[in-house]
Amino acid sequence: MMPKDRIEELRRILHEHNYNYYVLSQPVITDFEFDQLLKELSELEVQFPEFSDPNSPTMRVGSDINKNFKQAKHRYPMLSLQNTYSEGEVADFFNRVKKGLNEEFEIVCELKFDGTSISLIYENKQLVQAITRGDGKQGDVVTDNVRTIRSVPLVLKGDNVPDYVEVRGEVLMPWNVFEELNKEREEQEDPLFANPRNAASGTLKLLDPKVVASRKLDSSLYYLLGENLPSDSHFENMTIARNWGLRVSNAMRKCKSIDEIIDFLKYWDKERKNLPVATDGVVLKVDSLLQQRNLGSTSKFPRWAIAYKFNAEQAVTRLESVSYQVGRTGAVTPVANLEPVLLSGTTVKRASLYNEDAILALDLHIGDNVFVEKGGEIIPKITAVDKESRFMIGDKVTFIKRCPACGTTLVRNEDEAIYYCPNSEECPPQIKGRIEHFVTRKGMNIVVGPETINLLYDKGLIKDAADLYTLQFEDLVHLDRWAETSAKNLIESIGNSKSVPFERVLFALGIRFVGETVAQKLALAFHDIDNLANASIEQLTSVEEIGERIAQSVVEYFSNPKSLDFVNRLKLQNLQFSLSEDAMALKTDKLKGVTIVISGTFELHSRDEYKAMILQNGGKNSGSVSKSTDFILAGDNMGPVKLEKAEKLGVKIIDENKFLKMIE
């Protein structure tokens, strides 16, 4: 596979996993597997800067923002932590800190509880706001739900509490509550939560605080922020915070050497299995707040902290059968069905087998005893077969030849490991997958989940996304477990989607290789759907950053009579298939031929809004600084790597006020 193709494939995969993780709270791969994919993409983007994309997963943090909640900006950005998986990487971190500070320092080791991040704001000792992590800059206000968590104090105790203090931590679901919740969901035939973290995240986003209260969530708090903190020592601050009534773990230790840190890691790798809540690692932080500020942060990670992830746990169980799942693109994924086994606190019944090559490498037979591992304590996988224990095994596992959903003969491209079902027009899982893509937040933003889409399709109420617009209140209110409010909300959400702008409608169509950025460029270049549908490959490739493969895909889409019929049916429902007059009026060539890198946080507009302005005025967004960069649009906390490279190359840096004057 060519580097550009692999980069685009990785971006597509990671965007999908980000959505599964942060929005749906339904991850399908482990943290480690996600980190490895992200690392591969990051290395390729450095190696091939000509394929940079400002919307790459490496340029942002995933978002858990839920449109049903009000959003609030974080006074202090909620950065993620860089993950490490070995003692050697921990030693590297320690030595980097030592070199960066060139003075005595201490490292605080504390357990990394596996929950969903929260920021609690106290003013005059009173809890006034609770905000989820969101995209790191802003998050959902979930104060009413957090008030139901008994371990979160509504009023702080003590005399030395600052007038304003922000407390960062995790909302957790204990193992026993998690098991009981999944047992209830299984009895009601509802989808099971993958792990306590996702159960906690999903619970925190429920609209009814009474239901949240019934879930018995817990908390663990690990960091204080504010102007007048009691001490320069993080360790002392958390000890004091415990006296204020905040739930702070006792599993904290100050270390002065790598040996002391390694001792802490080894102790808790075993002892954590006795804890009532899930943990997935240890966080290492420089103790002095002054030293933390001196070390600073990159655009994504603090330099003064790092997360060490525990090695995956293993169990041995029996392979009972193999089933196959079909995705939106037609990709067929094998899944191992296992004899239930307890692993990392949960009962495992299924494991991913990835593709045919993985099955052949394992030499799997039905009845084999297999080693199962949970890398990030989410979706398990088979890592090996216990061949010595084979006795009376069944047939050798071979990849199916026909689609399990529609019976079509599968195909496999020479340069890929995945089999596809080519029957995209009639294969039910592919159709449902396209509908799910159509309704996403970056598409039509229709609030409807996969379970509801399945129900509507199976009942014959929809055959594709266009049928959503013909649904009636009476169609929905009589469905099982549906009430008038649910039916009314869905009809209202579908109606609201008719105002979604053209570029997002274009993205929602699901044209292969037409992602969010490409859809914006095509919309600005061709103005309406008819011009785009009639465009030749030459006209398409004349648009900046639109290559042969994207152009060919667009032409093929609009050459398909079924695609044209789908678009025409959407036109009849008055969706936005042309740029608005406002967007047309704002379209200029003021930045034509200008390449701009955005870095930092801004006051007047969001980064996404600035990216849209650059495109609107004919400019090009870039994710990395190079000789071709004309200038950097910089806000607060500009990435130090970008700043260093800009100074080295002599690239001009401007603030948002100067930029806005440029495009007035």
pLDDT digits (tens, 9 = 90+) for 138-180: 999 999 899 989 889 888 988 889 999 999 999 999 988 888 8
> How far is the C-alpha of 2 from the C-alpha of 415, rounded, in Å?
10
Range list of β-strands (E), 520-630? 595-599, 620-622
Which tokens belong to 165?
């203090």
> How far is the C-alpha of 511 from the C-alpha of 504, rounded, in Å?
12
Edge-to-edge, what's the strand order for the sheet holding 252-255? 83-84, 305-309, 279-286, 107-113, 252-255
* DSSP helix/strand/coil, 348: strand
Of 405, 353, 416, 424, residue with least CA distance to 382: 353
CATH of span 1-60: 1.10.287.610
How far is the CA of 653 from the CAs of 623, 632, 643, in angstroms? Answer: 15, 5, 9
Burial of 247 (0-12, 13-18, 19+ CB in 10 A): buried
Instruction: Report the relative pairing of strands 595-599 and 631-634 from DSSP bridges.
Output: parallel
Question: 430: how many CB neighbours lie within 10 A of its CB?
Answer: 24
The CATH superfamily assigned to 428-499 is 5' to 3' exonuclease, C-terminal subdomain (1.10.150.20)
* DSSP helix/strand/coil, 101: helix
**Is 3.40.50.150 the CATH number for 312-421?**
no
Residues of the chain with CATH 1.10.150.20: 428-499, 502-585
User: Quick one: DSSP state of residue 192?
Assistant: P
> How far is the C-alpha of 423 from the C-alpha of 330, rounded, in Å?
8
> How far is the C-alpha of 112 from the C-alpha of 281, rounded, in Å?
5
> How far is the C-alpha of 289 from the C-alpha of 269, rounded, in Å?
28
Residues in the chain predicted with pLDDT less than 50, given as ranges, are 22-23, 60-62, 189, 376-377
Query: 382 forms bridges with which residues in the sheet?
Result: 372
Position 207: which residue type? L
Q: Which residues contact 142 (CB under 8 A, 6 or more apart)?
A: 69, 118, 130, 131, 132, 204, 205
H helix intervals, 157-301: 175-187, 196-204, 209-214, 234-243, 258-271, 289-295
CA angle 24, 346, 318 (to 5 degrees): 110
SS3 labels along 355-374: CHHHHHHHCCECCCEEEEEE
Torsion of CA 79, 85, 91, 96, to 10 degrees: -30
> How far is the C-alpha of 604 from the C-alpha of 540, rounded, in Å?
34
Instruction: Report the relative pairing of strands 138-140 and 71-73 from DSSP bridges.
Output: antiparallel
Considering Cα of 462, then 464, then 470, then 471, what sign does the dihedral take? positive
Of 312, 373, 367, residue with least CA distance to 348: 373
pLDDT at 376: 45
CATH of span 588-662: 3.40.50.10190
Burial of 636 (0-12, 13-18, 19+ CB in 10 A): exposed
Question: 139: how many CB neighbours lie within 10 A of its CB?
Answer: 25
**pTM of the entire structure?**
0.51
Considering Cα of 162, then 166, then 168, then 174, what sign does the dihedral take? positive
Position 634: which residue type? A
Residues of the chain with CATH 1.10.287.610: 1-60
Q: Which residues contact 272 (CB under 8 A, 6 or more apart)?
A: 111, 279, 310
Residues of the chain with CATH 3.30.470.30: 71-309
- Choices 1.10.10.10, 3.30.70.60, 3.40.50.300, 1.10.150.20: CATH for 502-585: 1.10.150.20
In the block, residue with structure tokens 């296992």: 338
Q: Are 69 and 32 in contact (CB under 8 A)?
A: no
Burial of 214 (0-12, 13-18, 19+ CB in 10 A): middle
pLDDT at 380: 81
> How far is the C-alpha of 325 from the C-alpha of 172, rounded, in Å?
31
Q: Which residues contact 3 (CB under 8 A, 6 or more apart)?
A: 44, 47, 48, 51
> How far is the C-alpha of 563 from the C-alpha of 553, rounded, in Å?
12
pLDDT at 105: 97
> How far is the C-alpha of 72 from the C-alpha of 137, rounded, in Å?
9
- Choices 3.30.420.40, 3.30.470.30, 3.30.70.260, 3.40.50.261: CATH for 71-309: 3.30.470.30
Of 362, 80, 115, residue with least CA distance to 219: 115
pLDDT at 24: 53
> How far is the C-alpha of 76 from the C-alpha of 226, rounded, in Å?
9
Residues classed as catalytic = 112
Q: Are 112 and 307 in contact (CB under 8 A)?
A: yes
In the block, residue with structure tokens 């600084």: 625
Helices (H) and strands (E) in the chain, counts: 25, 22
> How far is the C-alpha of 285 from the C-alpha of 303, rounded, in Å?
9
Burial of 250 (0-12, 13-18, 19+ CB in 10 A): exposed
Helix (H) or strand (E) holding 297: none
Which tokens belong to 11?
């971006």
pLDDT at 573: 96
